[in-house]
Each structure stands twice: as structure tokens, then as C-alpha cells.
Amino acid sequence: MKTVTVSLLAALALSGGTAVAAPKPKAKPVAAAPALASEPVEVQAAALRDAALKSDVAYDFVAQMTTRFGARPAGGEAERKASEWSVEELKKMGFQNVHLQTFPLYGWERGAESIEITAPFPQKLVGTALGGSTAGVADAEAVLFETYQEFLDSKADVTGKIVVILQPMARASNGSGYGRMSGSVRSGGPGVAQKRGAVGFVLRSLGTETDRFAHTGATTWSDGKGIPAMAISTPDAEALRRILKMQGKGEAGPLRLRMASGAKFLGLGQSQNVVADVVGTEKPNEVIVMGGHIDSWDLGTGAIDDASGLGITMAAAKTIIDSGLKPKRTIRVVFWGSEEVSQPEGFGDAGGGKFRDAYRDNLSNFIAAGESDFGAGKVYAISLMPTEDKTFLTKLGNVLYPLAVYIDAKAVPTGGVDSGPLHESGVPAFDLEQDGYDYFDVHHTANDVIERVDPAQMKQNVAAWTATVWMMANTNVTFTRPEIKK
Ligand SMILES: [Zn+2]
């Protein structure tokens, strides 16, 4: 109750209300921001939280990004133009030290592609090539496996055949069903199939819906020496499973597929991170990092993956800039380049790794790093590395509880693809855990468009980031630093 009362007063002050709104009228009547500036950090955080709940900045940013640039494949022209445009926008918004960090990247591009059943029941399927896979035509008998493990365990001769994996992905609010499969069947499946003599590889899309969309995603970089590898939509995988059953009963003959992929390897090009600061007034060397990735798969417009992550973290910082309050520590917003890629073995990291490398000498001053790369749904918990500062946790909890967000003391934050390299180098991660129950209905499909973003949920998300980052930037909190691995 206390939190609500205080936050209402502070929000009034923040929105330009009169000095009457200031809870402690000890000073003479002043403008809104200075009144708030003298309040305790948790009162400020609550006011910022409530301002973020009213802000359309994140949603508008996603609309702009997806409308102006559409899909933004890693290392491509749209990604570069979107990055250059972002630099100008962030400067206009009042960010400081706004700049690009460029780095080399091997490019891959989808070409014309198709997949169809040629026997026993000829028909077209909805499928799409995996990123980093090789072009070619495979016209052959298909061998179906219910699960990836079944394929790995099987002694079946797949020489000259197309391997098809029908395993469905588990739906889980925290997205855990995805990690278990993207790192195994999608990354490794095509290479294993090729080693066993297969001429093509097909997997059921790593998606949780039954809409007829194929979900792309990166497989291990094949350098044009692999076999065609595709994901088919979940309804098409179900159709193949029915055929498998019919074969078992002697009601259908051998299944034949024809897959054609015109994927191209573009050689060595360039990608870039966008970096923007709100410079700290007292301890500018101490840095809180947050961001998302600016590249996207080519099928949709990358609204949920991951223009939303850019919008959410940028809007959190902009809410702070617009309040007139100044953080004591530096808040650094990053639009990481080229998250959605595999690269040749031994080539090195893409955006997240290059960002870490650029700040090697100051990483011991990085207080915490978080990324938003799980759509625009509601935040329900926050996980942090351990801290001695129990007051910080109490205050942060009080600011977040009205948003229906709790502090998840059991979870160990590790960051994602982009902030993970920082974590590996000793920077504490923090994760704002989102409800991703339907995230993989859309992820990496042509259906990843702004219509899948819920503006109200997105505002709650921005509010949670805003309050959390303000609390980190304006206290002396430090977190247990993870072991340095790289
Ligand atoms: Zn992403």
C-alpha cells in the first residue's frame, strides 16, 4: 500500500504536476524533476516505473524499425541501415557516446526453396532452409524418425536418402523446450545425417503451434559443403507422421521427398553493434548493460525477435532521460548485431563477443548485464547473482511487486547469446524472466510481425526494466561475479 501511495505522488511530480505532489514539501516549490531528485532511490524507481507504464516509446520503436527496414538478416544491408538509423534516433533521444562497433561476419542468404512429397501422395509442403545450410536438390526416399535420439541410436542405412526427424518441441513458459532442441537436432542433425551418407535433412520446425509456418534458425555452418537442410511446418510434420503409420499398416508405399534450396554463402562481410550511453554523474566508469539484437531472420520482420528487445531496453533508458533524473552509474544500451548466426568453425564471436572484447579493460567495473530477447510479453520474475546488499533486494522487490514481478532467488542468471560473453568474462548477469508460453508459436517464422506484440504487456515489461536498472544505477549494489572462463 505504501508503495502505491508514494509512487502516485512521485508519478504526479514526474508528469509535471505541481509541487503539491511532492511528498516532503521541505524545499520551496520546484519543478517536477528536481523534486523527485531529492527523493529516495526507491521512490524515484517507482515514479519511473509508473511513467514507463504510460509510455508508447517501445511499441512505436518496433513499428518504426519493422516498417522502415523489414527483415534484417545478419551482416546484410537492412541490418546496417537499421543500425545507422538507430544511431541518429538515439542521439535525438538524448543518449550520449552513440556509436557503431563494426566487426567482420560471414554472410548467408536464403535463395528460392521448395519441398514436396513426390510419392506416395504428391503434394507441396511448407518448409524453409536452415541458416548456414548448403544449397542443392535432394530427390530421394525419406526415412522418418519419431525423435532425434531414435535417429542417433538407429543402425538404419540412410545412404542416398533424406533423413526426417518428427520430434515435437515441448511448450514451456520459460522456453526451456527450445534450448534442448536447437542445440542438438537443428545444429547437429544435418552434419550427422551427412556423415551417415544422407543426401538431405528435414526436421519438424522448432515451434509450439499448429499453424502452417516453417520456423528457420541456424544450423552448424556448412560452408557450402553440407547437404540441403530444412524445417517443415508442424502440420506438415504431422502429415508425414500419418504416412509413417499408414506404412506400418501396409497402406502406403515408400515416402519420397524432393527438396531444393538455393541458399548462398556470401563470403566475408561486416556487421555492427550500436552502443549508446546515459553517462553516470558520480561513477561513470561503473556500467549497467542492457539491450537486444538488431538482426532478425529473413522470413518475418523480426518484431518479437528482436526489435521488441531493442524497444524495451531503449525505452527503459529513455524514460530515465525524459524524467530529468541522472543516474550515478552509466547505463549502456546495446543493439547487438548478428545474433542469429552460425559462423565458420574457429572464426570467433559475433556481436556479443565483439562487444565484450571492446570493453575488456573495464569489465571489472561492469556491475551487471541483461538482455531482452524473448519477445514482448509480461515479465513475471527477476533473477540476479547473489548480493550482500539485502536492502537493495527489499527495495527492488517493493518497486516490482505492483507489476506482479517477484525476485526469483533460486534461479541463476546466465544471460543469453549476446550478454553471455560478458558473463563468461566475469560480469554478473541479470535476467528479467518473461512469460514465453506462446513465444515459439511465432519465433523465426514469417508470422513474426508487430501484430504479435501486445502493447499493454510490453509496457509492463518496460516498467520492470526501468525500475530495475534505475535501482542498479543509483545504489552501490554489487553482485557476486561469476568465474572468468574467457
Ligand atoms: Zn533473438
CA of 307 to the centre of ligand 1 (A): 9
The answer as to whether 371 is a domain residue is: yes
C-alpha cell recorded at residue 106: 560471414
- The predicted pLDDT at position 223 comes to 94
- The predicted pLDDT at position 28 comes to 46
Residues 101 and 141 in one domain: no
C-alpha cell recorded at residue 11: 508519478
Residues 98 and 178 in one domain: no
C-alpha cell recorded at residue 7: 509512487
CA of 292 to the centre of ligand 1 (A): 8
What's the mean pLDDT in 157-185? Answer: 94
Could you tell me what percent of the chain has a pLDDT over 90?
Answer: 90
CA of 217 to the centre of ligand 1 (A): 10
The answer as to whether 193 is a domain residue is: yes
Residues 417 and 287 in one domain: yes
Residues 192 and 309 in one domain: no
pLDDT level of residue 33 (50, 70, 90 thresholds): low
CA of 138 to the centre of ligand 1 (A): 30
The answer as to whether 425 is a domain residue is: yes
CA of 161 to the centre of ligand 1 (A): 33
Residues 285 and 226 in one domain: no
CA of 106 to the centre of ligand 1 (A): 19
CA of 446 to the centre of ligand 1 (A): 15
Q: Choose one of 205, 236, 262: the last residue of a domain.
A: 262
pLDDT, tens digit, 9 for 90 and up, residues 206-265:
999 999 999 999 999 999 999 999 999 999 999 999 999 999 999 999 999 999 999 999
CA of 459 to the centre of ligand 1 (A): 19
- The predicted pLDDT at position 32 comes to 55
CA of 174 to the centre of ligand 1 (A): 14
CA of 305 to the centre of ligand 1 (A): 5
CA of 304 to the centre of ligand 1 (A): 8
The answer as to whether 238 is a domain residue is: yes
Q: Indicate if the pLDDT at residue 20 is higher than 60.
A: no
Q: Indicate if the pLDDT at residue 27 is higher than 60.
A: no
- The predicted pLDDT at position 461 comes to 98
CATH number for the domain harbouring residue 337: 3.40.630.10
Q: How far is CA 62 from the centre of its chain?
A: 14
The answer as to whether 22 is a domain residue is: no
Q: Indicate if the pLDDT at residue 447 is higher than 60.
A: yes
pLDDT, tens digit, 9 for 90 and up, residues 49-74:
999 999 999 999 999 999 999 999 99
Residues 257 and 309 in one domain: no
Residues 116 and 90 in one domain: no
Q: How far is CA 23 from the centre of its chain?
A: 40
Residues 116 and 79 in one domain: no
Containing structural domain, residue 138: 111-262
CA of 208 to the centre of ligand 1 (A): 16
Residues 279 and 324 in one domain: yes
pLDDT, tens digit, 9 for 90 and up, residues 118-161:
999 999 999 999 999 999 999 999 999 999 999 999 999 999 99
- The predicted pLDDT at position 9 comes to 42
CATH number for the domain harbouring residue 181: 3.50.30.30
Task: Tell me the whole-structure pTM to 2 decimals.
Answer: 0.92
The answer as to whether 10 is a domain residue is: no
The answer as to whether 312 is a domain residue is: yes
CA of 294 to the centre of ligand 1 (A): 9
CA of 337 to the centre of ligand 1 (A): 11
What's the mean pLDDT in 337-355? Answer: 94
CA of 340 to the centre of ligand 1 (A): 7
Q: Indicate if the pLDDT at residue 19 is higher than 90.
A: no
Residues 378 and 323 in one domain: yes
- The predicted pLDDT at position 17 comes to 39
CA of 155 to the centre of ligand 1 (A): 36
Domain count, the chain: 2
The answer as to whether 447 is a domain residue is: yes
Q: Choose one of 209, 239, 262: the last residue of a domain.
A: 262
Residues 233 and 331 in one domain: no
CA of 297 to the centre of ligand 1 (A): 9
Q: Indicate if the pLDDT at residue 288 is higher than 60.
A: yes
Q: Choose one of 262, 289, 321: the last residue of a domain.
A: 262
Residues 433 and 304 in one domain: yes
User: Which range among 5-9, 194-198, 243-247, 314-318 shows the weakest confidence by mean pLDDT?
Assistant: 5-9
Tell me what the pLDDT averaged over the chain comes to. Answer: 93
